[in-house]
Chains A and B, each alone.
Chain A
Amino acid sequence: MNGKTEAIVRLDGVEKSFGAVHALAGVDLVCRAGECVGLVGHNGAGKSTLMHVLAGTLAPDRGTITVEADNLTGSYSVSLAQQRGIRCVFQELSLCPNLTVAENAHVFHGSLRGWGWRKRSGELIIRKLDEIFPGHGIKAGDNVGDLSIARRQMVEIARAFTVTDIPVKLVILDEPTSSLDAVVAGQLLDFVRRFVAAGGSCILISHLLGEILKASDRIIVMRDGKVVAERPAREFTRDSLVAAMGSVAKALSAEDAAKLASKRHTGEPMARARSGRQGDEKELRAYRGEVVGLAGLGGQGQTEILRSLFFSAQRRNRNASVAAPVALVAGDRQNDGIFPLWSIGRNIGIGSIRRMLKGWLIDPAREDEMAENWRKRIAIRTPDMKNNILSLSGGNQQKALFARALGSDAKIVLMDDPMRGVDIGTKQEVYGIIRAEAESGRTFIWYTTEMDELKNCDHVYVFRNGCIVADLARDELTEEKVLHSSFAEAL
């Protein structure tokens, strides 16, 4: 290690698991005064978890946290991080929309009290905004809720750099430019360089590789909860970064490729959709018996296109159309998927209730029959389908949701990253079910953030910024291509 500059923060062997998912599997990280560290990685690489550990909002399961040579592993918390001058700009905005810009500055700086606190808070935040984003056009008295999302992000960033009683040593910026335009993003990066030159320290997370290459001194690449590469920024290029993020590309065996021959030549598409923001002629098309994957980083418009497909079945839509009934398998199980008070059987049956009617009422015999049938077909592990849905493990709950969609008369099944947090065994079973159902003529449109799942798809569309940026048939699909399209062009 370089002896001249002291480490502000040092993480050693930090591990963190959420259920079966190892978000961090032994991460070492050092951040010194006077440097900007860039952090890149694909979805689920563990970047955000790492940031939450650094900010004190998540406690690691194992490993040590050292701040300026003090071992703070057990006691580390948000307030301790703040006392040590470690600030974090989270991806989700943490401003109060009902307060003014000045009042939000006060939320961060409790010491701004007494007469004239509003004026002093306002001056503090506006001065910092002037410094970082000249010509920002924000006033201290503006209500945050009335500002555009870009201006809100500017306020949030500026607030992280404001100083009252505790000097700022390390600022963690998690996708800070996601809603800023190029000019403003450039202003921010320039400021980061000035801040670092003055002895501060920054950790920058961004999916814009050009930004990372331009602003950082050192770049850390994460994959599967581990650091897989760490080198000075000048030794990286855009291509070598992308290569470091992906796993070694596995060549597809000939028989696999043959099995996955395109089904595109047959007939009309079952579903088609395009994004309103799409500039060119690219559109999403899914044919009978096809499994279509939607790839790219999280939140780049994949869920929106699934929604517009789903609702186009009920109401005509300019940008989306489907030729058969549609079912949706929700990704956010707890909020959009299960009925937590109902039994497993009823949770499955709700999608096909019309077929179970006897007069005006639901026929319990037919309901039980359907539940039992699905238990056998997809092996839901429960002694009794009349048990409450919450008695199942997460993976089995997800299977029940699949059964709901597959049991309905829907010919098109939309999947909104449904396998999040599901163990590998269950995943394999569900992949098998999907393939079998596709063989028998169903169409699947599958948004996934996991590279491995794309290998189960016949055709893949990569999304960025709400648009389709790549259209790959199965035999053209490589991890590298997906990564290249997911990350924006260099600035």
Chain B
Amino acid sequence: MTAVSPARFLRAILPALSLAILLIAVYHLNPRAISPLGFQLMFNLAIPIALATIAQMCVITVNDLDLSIGAYVGFVVCIAATWLQEIPVLGLLALIGGILVYMLLGALIHLRKLPSIVVTLGMSFVWLGLAILVLPTPGGQSPGWLAALMKYKPPPIPFLGGLVIPFPILAAVVIAAVAHVGLMNTSYGSILRGSGGNPKAIERAGWSLLKTKVTMFGLAGFFGMLAGLALIGLTTSAQANVAERYTLLSIAGVILGGGSFVGGRVSPVGAVIGAMTLTLAASFLAFMRIPPDWQIGAQGAILIIVLALRAIIDRLEKPI
């Protein structure tokens, strides 16, 4: 066991590899896209998706699944475009309330041993309903500071020859780093992951499983909120079901990034890369001039190819 097994290594670099291959393909189709401005345009929408993916990853770490994250992000978008804009205190309270509801759901799922899929599926309708109550027709306006933040252009770095790192890339690095340090490097992070790997062992060692679950659902609510804020900063106006697709995109991102549905095996860096891959796949298909009607299907095909590759790698690892 001294050397890292080749299968493990392949699995670890697969997310980055798929992103790189897609980038090369995009370059081949349209060389001008590989520039700071091109990156800015292609990856802008990756920021909210990456945040939603991290939120989903928190829930998947403790062997649950959040089917309400898309609706919740939509709810946050509607709150941000209305209350947060008009009465900031009320808006802030509503956002904090959202996180508290998530923590409560975690406690409920743990204490009553409910299947998270059912609970969160139900919650998705609650969030959607709340969002429509807050903003019945598309509209609203994003708070100025959010729009400004999302339009931020980092200054050129002098010692790298004036290279400009596009904001979405910078944001992705920061998101991945924060999540990685929090979950993979801190001591409590190892308990959180352990509670997905072998809950009984964690409980026997005297840790509270209720606390780990509430923590993870609370973090999911927090990152989901950030996703909503990032999204409204980009779109400038809101609509209740603006983030409907985020639920499945976020799950796909986690799995694409090397995570597993059960067993507490997740990778924050991989998840962010997975989210970027999914976003880039959309641009790639646009460059391919595939009609929009077919794009979602083609995006699914890319997903299936990458996951099939992973299944093959896993099979390489098994028969020892």
Binding site for B on A (CB under 8 A): 57, 78-79, 82, 94-99, 103-104, 106-108, 110, 112-114, 117-118, 137-139, 142, 146-148, 151
Contact = CB atoms under 8 A, between A and B. Distances in A.
A94 B201 CA distance: 5
A431 to B, nearest CB: 36
Interface stretch (B40-48, B73-81, B191-199): B191-199
Contacts of A97: 197-198, 263
Contacts of B1: 137-139, 142, 146-148, 151
A139 B263 contact: no
A99 B194 contact: yes
A98 B197 contact: yes
A108 B187 contact: no
B204 A103 contact: no
B199 to A, nearest CB: 9
B202 A107 contact: yes
6 contacts: A78-B204, A99-B190, A106-B187, A106-B191, A107-B201, A107-B202
A99 B187 contact: no
Given A107-B202, A110-B205, 8 more contacts: A94-B198, A96-B201, A96-B202, A98-B196, A99-B197, A107-B205, A138-B1, A147-B1
A160 to B, nearest CB: 11
B137 interface: no
A96 B194 contact: yes
A103 B265 CA distance: 14
B206 A82 contact: yes
A112 B187 contact: yes
Contacts of A138: 1
B197 A117 contact: no
Say whether chain B's binding surface is mostly helix, strand, loop, or mixed: helix
A78 B202 CA distance: 12
Contacts of B5: 146
A94 B2 contact: no
A96 B2 contact: no
Contacts of A82: 206
B64 to A, nearest CB: 15
Given A79-B206, A98-B193, A106-B191, A139 B198 contact: no
B261 interface: no
B205 A98 contact: no
A362 B202 CA distance: 49
A107 B207 contact: yes
Contact of A108 (B196, B205, B264, B265): B205
Interface string B176-217: 000000000101001101101110111011110000000000
B8 interface: yes
A367 to B, nearest CB: 32
A310 B201 CA distance: 34
Contacts of A114: 187
A117 B186 CA distance: 8
Contact of B194 (A78, A107, A113, A137): A107
Given A99-B197, A146-B5, A146-B8, A94 B206 contact: no
Contacts of B194: 96, 98-99, 103-104, 107
Task: Specify which of B185, B187, B198 lies most central, judged by the most chain A CB atoms within 10 Å of its CB.
Answer: B187
Given A107-B194, A146-B8, A98 B263 contact: yes
B181 to A, nearest CB: 12
Contacts of A137: 1-2
Contact of B206 (A110, A112, A118, A142): A110
Interface in B263-282: 263-265
